[in-house]
Structures are given as C-alpha cells and as structure tokens.
Structure 1
Amino acid sequence: MVSVKSHVAIDSGVYLTTAAEIGNYVHLSPYLTIIGGSKSTLIVEDFVTIAAGSRLICGSDRFMGDGFTSVTVPDEFRDTVDFGIIRCGRFSGVGTNVVIMPNVTLGEGCVIGACALVTEDTEPWTIYVGVPAKPIKVRPREKMLEYAKRLGY
C-alpha cells in the first residue's frame, strides 16, 4: 500500500516496488529507484527531498552464497533476503545518486551528500558524505523548525 499526504511532488521516472508512506511537503525527484518488494517499506516524513537518480534499497539479497540471488527461483532456493524499512526523518535531504541500504533511518534534519553510500542509521541534523557515508558537520536547525511551526507543523 502507498499513502501520500499533501504538497507532494513525485517526478517522472520514480520507480517504486515497496509499500510507502509519504508525508507532507515531500519531493521525490526524477529517476529514483526504490526497491525491495511487498515485504519492505519506505517511510518519508514531512519536509524531505530525495534528489535525482538515488537508489533506496529497502530489501535486498545478502549475496553471501546462501542461495540464488534471483526473484525468479522458488523461495527455498533463494539467498537470505533482508526485507526492511528505510525511514527518512523530518527535514532530511538526500543528494543526487545516493544509495541507501535496507533498514536505515536518516535522523531528523540529516543530509546525505551526492554519491554517498548509507549503510547505517544517521544522527539528527548532521551532514554525511562519502562511501561509506561519514559525518562531516552539524547542520543548523532553528530556521527550518521555525518555518515548519509557521506552516502548522
């Protein structure tokens, strides 16, 4: 099931195979890939932008040799699969061509720089860059919190 709240822009080429909860004032930019199947979920809270070309892998094979890594074979012959949730906290932002792996929560106000690989939860109001993504700086929050309050959030 997919639920979408108010003031949401979903651009062309957004590919979604999971359940999803999309909050208010969200922008899903062109050519996002959000995969993981029906047992996985994407949760995007209010005031989030996910930039063009990013890949959110909500569910994935582990690729450890436990079986075939193809959805075309019966489950008993499949590799171990991590079905999970990716959660983008309020005010978070994802730069272009970022990859986020299963079971990651982006903390409130966190920003991920372009081309980063996120494999672990992030701290609130922190900027991350690199492969794997590492924190580089704390992000100011006062102005965004004030604007959200003026919008009734």
Structure 2
Amino acid sequence: MKSFLVKLLGVFVSFKGYLFNNWLMYFPSHTLRAFLMKRTVKSFGKESSVLMGVEVRAGRNVSIGNNTIINQKVLLDGRGGKLVIGNNVDIAQETNIWTLEHDVHDDYHVSKGADVIIEDYVWIASRVTILPGVTIGRGAVVASNSVVTKNVEPLTIVGGVPAKLIGQRKSNLLYKLNYRPLFR
C-alpha cells in the first residue's frame, strides 16, 4: 500500500508540473503568471515579469529579484542547487539555466549539481546556456548563443562556446527594467 501511495504522489507532482509549465505559463496574462510564480518559486521580486512559456524545475530553489525580466521559453532549473537571479536582470528568450548536469567522467552517468548565481543588472542575450556552478557578476553581459561554463567577472562582456571575454561594459547601471508586452 505504501509503494502505491508513493507512486500516486509522484504522478500527482509530475502532473502538477506539467499543468504549470505547459498550460498555465502559456496563459496570456502577466498578472496571472506573476501570481503563479510567487507560489512556485522561493521568491519572486516586485515588478518582475515572466513572459509566456517559461519553464521552472524545482521552483523551491529558484529566487528572482525585483524588476527582472524573463523572456519567452526560458528554462529555470533548480533541481541541482539554488538558482539566484538578482535585480534588474534581463534574460532573453530561449535561454537555459542549469543547476544539474551529468558527470561525463562517471561510469554510471550520475548527476551532479551546483548553484548558479546571476547578480544584479546582468544582461543575458538570447539562446544562452548557463551550466551549474557559475556566478555571473554584477552588470555583466552574455552574448547570444554563448555557453557559460565558468564564472563571469562584473561588467565584462563574454561570448562564444565556451564563453570568453570579448569586452568591458561601460555603464553606471542606473536603469530599472519594466517590460510587459501584451499577449507575450
């Protein structure tokens, strides 16, 4: 009887995640998505927005700061550790942020996880992949289609596979993000 209840609970949890990620996060209302995020993630900041199609895994380990924008079809993975996203962070569409990966050197393909920290005023362009154990420093910029495998220093611009230094950001970072396009 106990194993049946454990399986039933597993089915319920999986179905709840399916409904959240594949139905509710596609509803064209910023207000509803913010309401749902506040109940799914560890913390969800004031004036932050998530566009349609954002996927959250293990939301209890995901924290999102104030005035942060998470665009369409972004994956936020909290399964392998904490995912902390600061204030005024702009994450463009189709970005994948991973806290869990497989160990390529393990004979049994075991999983290993680590925290990902994205500090304030970071700008992550579209289709970026961020791997576990990475900290992206305050005000850094990650160019489109980059793969971030190691820490990024504050106010640097990185790009490529793997991401490498390509420039310095020259900004006092005084802005507050506020982006809520209709039906997105």
TM-score normalised to structure 2 length: 0.69
Listed one character per residue, the Cα deviations across residues 38-79 of structure 1 (whole Å, up to 9, x for unaligned) are x42210000101110011111111132331x4xxxxxxxxx1
**Contact 1:59/1:84 (<8 A) preserved:** yes
Gaps (5+ residues) in structure 2? 1-40, 177-184
Residue type of the partner of 1:35?
Answer: D
2:95 is aligned with 1:65: no
Alpha-carbon RMSD:
1.5
Which of the pair has more CA radius of gyration?
A: 2
Gaps (5+ residues) in structure 1? 70-78, 149-153
- 2:49 aligns to what? 9
Q: Identify, as 1 or 2, the structure richer in helix.
A: 2
**Contact 1:36/1:60 (<8 A) preserved:** no
Matches for 1:1-153 after TM superposition, within 5 Å: 1-18=41-58, 19-37=61-79, 39-67=80-108, 69=109, 79=110, 81-142=111-172, 144-145=173-174, 147=175
TM-score normalised to structure 1 length: 0.82
Deviation of 1:92 after TM superposition, in Å, equals 0.4
Deviation of 1:2 after TM superposition, in Å, equals 2.1
- 2:33 aligns to what? none
Listed one character per residue, the Cα deviations across residues 109-153 of structure 1 (whole Å, up to 9, x for unaligned) are 0000000000000010011111110111110122x24x46xxxxx
**Contact 2:77/2:83 (<8 A) preserved:** no
- 1:151 aligns to what? none
Query: Aligned partners of 1:14 and 1:89: how far apart in 2?
Result: 20
For these two proteins, the number of residue pairs brought into alignment is 134
Q: Identify, as 1 or 2, the structure richer in strand.
A: 1
- 2:25 aligns to what? none
Identity %: 26
